[in-house]
């Protein structure tokens, strides 16, 4: 409409409520859209986004803990560790231990029946010559011939002692791999940076690290107030029945059930993750079970074979096992969840998507499922969570023209901390039942006979405990107690001292769990505070394989840790 003045006329005014409706509607649409975008983006932000979870208190930290009453001893101890002369001495100690082969094999008969155990006498001879002050000062008891229990008596017998563990044995070196080693596996060769050889990392470094720390403390005239006990088994790689299994009985008889303030054994170490240094103390351990799966069928001449031999049936069963693994769920009760909470709080550069999933998972089942998918993409994390299976040994047949009457396999299980041996056996039996029915076999699962066929069976499928060393998952060690806090503070003090740092935020300590098992299984009755930790960089080098080695600096830091731990434990009133 054109006005009288020739300009553009105004439109007729609208009712006020009518004018507001489109704006209100548009505002509501915009708010809903923003909420939807926020919810969607929260789980799909780019992996490169930087993150730091400030002030969430998922993973409370101990302060750096340095000796106070024993400060003079600790100062002298740390100064000596920094000298070149002591470095050369420490290298010689570990290299000498590596040069004494202490391999153990699965077919070892018990002590007294198998002469191959005698190699541990040579190892003891080495220890007694390398550490004269330890052997002159500590009380030594040999258990089952080769187990070593050293007692460093403290002045105050009312204080619970501490127990430091390690093992003397190493895994065998595969003969065909000798030429692949950079330096011979039992040479103990030092190239100026690293000590090479089997056991340099697992676990002679731990054993020699403990002995070195004690030897040095004695040289510095330290006399403990709290008793310190050292226990070194000799068949940890065979599950520990001959070593730790017998040592535990002697230790309990002398010190009683729950007689130790805490014990510390080999475990995980420290590493850089998401831009920050993290040390992981193992507070739990998966269960262990080896199942022997055996198929027995009629033999005969190979020229008249049945449709399926015992080897063929066993193969079918093993394929069935791998096609139907254990169902794995990631739950908040799992120790790995506590580990992730620590990453979320203290990491400097955790991916935003992962950090948000961890944050949201505390109150959202949907986020927990999404976090589970993320965790299971990491094979190490996934193996920590569920019950695993590994088909490690298979055997069958004696001659190319004779039908195999028996064939068997050994399947190794590491059992989830939230499961049990019984649940593992039940699932194994349920899978075996399918194959027994398919091939008309009688199933005998862990002593329970089941006729799997209506017609007379064509053979027997047997599941049994392969070595009679089943282990339930370990009790979970509390993290809100004094022993965990003391070890945490000692880790921080050691890390700082070795690098000339100060403060409690240079390394963060978190609870977790390694994928392997230790022989602490036999020591559960000795303390409620079982801590599994090796103070070395987890990227230090390979173990159980070719070119095992340990850097001299890492070994010196390990000695520093054990010395600091002994001194801190000696003056703590809360253990």
The domain 70-266+517-570: what is its CATH number? 3.40.630.10
Collapsing DSSP states into helix, strand and coil, what is residue 412? strand
Higher pLDDT, 327 or 50: 327
Q: Tokens for 262?
A: 């805490």
Residue 531's pLDDT is 98
Residue 23's pLDDT is 62
Residue 108's pLDDT is 96
- Name the binding residues: 167, 202, 237, 265, 544
Residue of 331, 396, 399 whose CA lies nearest to 368: 331
User: With pLDDT > 90 as the criterion, what percentage of the chain qualifies?
Assistant: 85
**How many CA atoms within 13 Å lie on the side-chain side of 399?**
7
Is 169 catalytic? The answer is yes
Checking if the pLDDT of 29 tops 80, the result is no
Chain segment 392-429, per-residue pLDDT in tens? 999 999 999 999 999 999 999 999 999 999 999 999 99
Residue of 364, 263, 351 whose CA lies nearest to 569: 263
Checking if the pLDDT of 457 tops 70, the result is yes
Query: Once rounded to an integer, what is the mean pLDDT over residues 529-542?
Result: 90
Q: How confident is the model at residue 452 (pLDDT cuts 50, 70, 90)?
A: very low
Q: What is the mean pLDDT of the chain?
A: 90
Residue of 330, 333, 335, 334 whose CA lies nearest to 267: 335
Residue 28's pLDDT is 58
d(CA 552, CA 66): 23
Active-site option among 169, 290, 294, 345: 169
Query: Once rounded to an integer, what is the mean pLDDT over residues 543-552?
Result: 94
Residues of the chain with CATH 3.40.630.10: 70-266+517-570
**CA-CA distances (angstroms) from residue 278 to 121, 275, 339, 481?**
39, 10, 10, 20
Residues of the chain with CATH 3.30.70.360: 287-471
Residue of 498, 423, 395, 398 whose CA lies nearest to 82: 498
| pTM reported for the whole predicted model | 0.86
Chain segment 61-79, per-residue pLDDT in tens? 999 999 999 999 999 999 9
Query: Once rounded to an integer, what is the mean pLDDT over residues 117-142?
Result: 98
Checking if the pLDDT of 39 tops 50, the result is no
Domain over 287-471 is classified CATH 3.30.70.360:
yes
- Name the binding residues for Zn(2+): 167, 202, 237, 265, 544
DSSP string, 429-448: HHHHHHHHHHTT-EEEETTE
Active-site option among 64, 215, 235, 236: 236
Please tell me what DSSP assigns to residue 15: P
């Amino acid at each position: 409409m054109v006005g009288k003045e020739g300009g553009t006329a105004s439109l007729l005014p609208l009712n006020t409520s009518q004018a507001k409706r489109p704006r209100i509607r548009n505002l509501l649409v915009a708010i809903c859209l923003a909420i939807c975008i926020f919810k969607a983006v929260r789980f799909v932000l780019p992996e490169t986004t930087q993150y730091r979870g400030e002030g969430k208190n998922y993973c409370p930290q101990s302060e750096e803990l340095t000796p106070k009453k024993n400060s003079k001893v600790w100062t002298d101890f740390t100064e000596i560790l920094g000298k070149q002369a002591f470095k050369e001495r420490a290298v010689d100690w570990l290299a000498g231990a590596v040069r004494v082969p202490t391999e153990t094999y699965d077919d070892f008969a018990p002590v007294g029946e198998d002469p191959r155990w005698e190699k541990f006498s040579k190892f003891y001879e080495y220890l007694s010559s390398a550490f004269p002050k330890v052997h002159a000062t500590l009380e030594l008891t040999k258990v089952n011939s080769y187990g070593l229990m050293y007692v460093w008596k403290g002045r105050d017998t009312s204080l619970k002692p501490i127990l430091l563990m390690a093992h003397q044995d190493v895994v065998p070196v595969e003969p065909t791999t000798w030429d692949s080693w950079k330096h011979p596996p039992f040479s103990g060769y030092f190239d100026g940076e690293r000590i090479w050889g089997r056991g340099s990392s697992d676990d002679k470094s731990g054993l020699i690290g403990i002995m070195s720390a004690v030897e040095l403390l004695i040289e510095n005239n330290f006399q403990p107030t709290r008793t310190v006990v050292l226990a070194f088994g000799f068949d940890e790689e065979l599950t520990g029945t001959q070593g730790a299994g017998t040592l535990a009985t002697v230790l309990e008889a002398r010190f009683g059930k729950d007689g130790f303030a805490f014990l510390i054994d080999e475990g995980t170490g420290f590493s850089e993750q998401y831009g920050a240094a993290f040390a992981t103390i193992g507070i739990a351990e998966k269960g262990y079970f080896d199942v022997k799966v055996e198929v027995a069928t009629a033999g005969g001449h190979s020229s008249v074979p049945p449709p399926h031999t015992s080897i063929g049936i066993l193969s079918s069963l093993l394929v069935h096992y791998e096609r139907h693994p254990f169902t794995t769920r990631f739950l908040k009760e799992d120790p790995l969840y506590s580990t992730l909470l620590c990453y979320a709080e203290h990491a400097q550069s955790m991916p935003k998507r992962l950090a948000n999933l961890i944050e949201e998972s505390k109150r959202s089942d949907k986020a927990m499922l999404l976090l589970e998918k993320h965790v299971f993409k990491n094979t190490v994390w996934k193996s920590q969570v569920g019950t695993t299976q590994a088909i490690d040994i298979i055997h069958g047949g004696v001659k190319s023209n004779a039908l195999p009457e028996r064939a068997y396999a050994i399947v190794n299980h590491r059992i989830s901390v939230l499961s049990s041996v019984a649940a593992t056996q039940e699932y194994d039996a349920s899978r075996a039942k399918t194959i027994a029915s398919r091939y008309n076999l009688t199933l005998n699962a862990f002593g329970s006979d089941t006729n799997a066929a209506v017609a007379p069976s064509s053979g027997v499928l047997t599941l049994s405990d392969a070595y009679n060393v089943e282990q339930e998952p370990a009790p979970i060690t509390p993290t809100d107690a004094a022993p965990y806090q003391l070890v945490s503070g000692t880790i921080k003090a050691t890390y700082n001292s070795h690098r000339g740092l100060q403060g409690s935020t240079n390394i963060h300590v978190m609870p977790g769990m390694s994928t392997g098992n230790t022989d602490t299984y036999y020591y559960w009755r000795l303390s409620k505070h079982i801590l599994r930790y090796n103070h070395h960089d987890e990227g230090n080098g390979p173990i159980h394989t070719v070119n095992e080695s340990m850097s001299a600096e890492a070994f010196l830091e390990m000695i520093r840790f054990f010395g600091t731990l002994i001194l801190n434990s000696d003056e703590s009133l809360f253990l």
